[in-house]
Structure 1
Amino acid sequence: MKEVVHEVAPDTPIEVWFMDEARVGQQGTLTRIWAKRGTRPRAVRDHRYTWAWIFGAVCPERAVGAAVVLPEVNVHAMNIHLAEISRCVSKGAHAVLVLDGAGWHTSPRLHLPENISLLPLPRYAPELNPVENIWEFLRQNLLSHRVWDSYDAIVDACCHAWSTLMRTPDQIATITRRSWAQVKL
């Protein structure tokens, strides 16, 4: 982490943020549900092909997050998300944003805000990104077993799911906090 923030002024508070994106849509995820032993409960399943992408980031230590819901993933969408994260970083602090190696995360066309530095994860290591657990939680509790009529309905569901989670800071901390992700410079 020291290499990532070497140009940050000394005494600047450092926040560790994690980010990722998830596709949500009509080809939704089926999750487990409670049912009487020996029965096969019915669950809705949509076979249409409309979806949206949640770009989400969390700061486990502050138990806050920033997200945008967009129709596609690309460099332009990533720039929108970086701007949103930048607005949520504490005033006077610098964020180290941990992310995977997707092409739109590392493009030279990214407009990196001054209060954010990027720290890529090792290849093939999604288990190191706690935002993956956020997606699992949202799918299990707020986004599964649904049929949405339109793209707007998907966006509304994504926004509602993210907002619901952000209103529970203890839940955010429980899902995302990792002992190895503490700031120790």
Structure 2
Amino acid sequence: MVFFFDESRFGLHPSIGRCWARKGVRISAPVNPNYQNCYVYSGVSPFTGDAFSLFLPWVNTEMMNLYLAEMSAAFPDKEIMLIWDQAGWHKSNSLKVPDNIVLKSLPPYSPELNPVEKLWQWLKKHVCRNRLFAYVDDLMNTLAETLINLTPTRFMELCQGSYLLQ
């Protein structure tokens, strides 16, 4: 199985987007002044629509090891090629890679080659924009519910790039 992997930060400070309003009416939006956040670690196969995500408190080697162990356990009988960027914690000497996972790196500074970036854009635009979450748990529950309800076909639509088919 081929998975592309990335992590993204989601926080309580909302992303404000455009909306319709009557001419001359000034729009206001409530803002949560807290800067609490969580990180979503996701691996997506744009070819099959399989996905595996975890919510973790930080991005570091320890959390990356946890993700790799959980992904390996979720697909115990599968050989997984995990393609990811070259973040520092992806190249750490203390990274523990399970036997059924092979790691491959994307070229440096090329997020446009990682299809999971499209998933983050979609989540931030369609799930988080113009929404106020009082607590990080509310945000995580909303994101988790959305990810759970995405079908393999929808993951493929969101994450498949034409360059992957060539």
TM range, smaller chain: 0.7 to 0.9
Distance 1:17 1:28 in 2: 29
Match of 2:141 in 1: 156
Q: Offset at 1:19?
A: 0.8
Which of 42, 58, 70 does residue 44 from structure 2 map onto?
A: 58
Paired residues of 1:143 and 1:161 also in contact (CA < 8 A): no
Match runs of 1:92-131 below 5 Å: 93-131=78-116
Structure 1 residue 137 and structure 2 residue 101: aligned?
no
Distance 1:90 1:176 in 2: 24
Paired residues of 1:75 and 1:110 also in contact (CA < 8 A): yes
Q: Offset at 1:146?
A: 2.0
Q: Offset at 1:161?
A: 2.6
**Partner amino acid, structure 1, of 2:49:** A
Percent identity (aligned): 32
Q: Which runs of 5+ in 2 are unaligned?
A: none
Distance 1:83 1:42 in 2: 45
Q: Secondary structure at the match of 1:60?
A: coil
Paired residues of 2:32 and 2:134 also in contact (CA < 8 A): no
Distance 1:124 1:29 in 2: 24
TM value normalised by structure 2 = 0.87
Larger displacement relative to structure 2 (15-24 or 151-160):
151-160
Q: Offset at 1:115?
A: 1.1
Distance 2:119 2:141 in 1: 18
Structure 1: 4+ residue segments shifted above 6 A: none
RMSD across aligned C-alpha pairs, in angstroms? 2.2
Q: Offset at 1:83?
A: 1.9
TM value normalised by structure 1 = 0.79
Structure 1 residue 174 and structure 2 residue 157: aligned?
yes
- Structure 1 residues 40 and 120: CA distance shift in structure 2, 3 A: farther
Distance 1:69 1:94 in 2: 23
Match of 2:65 in 1: 79
Distance 1:90 1:177 in 2: 25
Q: Offset at 1:164?
A: 2.6
Distance 1:119 1:29 in 2: 32
Q: Secondary structure at the match of 2:51?
A: strand
Structure 1 residue 49 and structure 2 residue 35: aligned?
yes
Which of 117, 130, 146 does residue 131 from structure 2 map onto?
A: 146
Paired residues of 2:76 and 2:100 also in contact (CA < 8 A): no
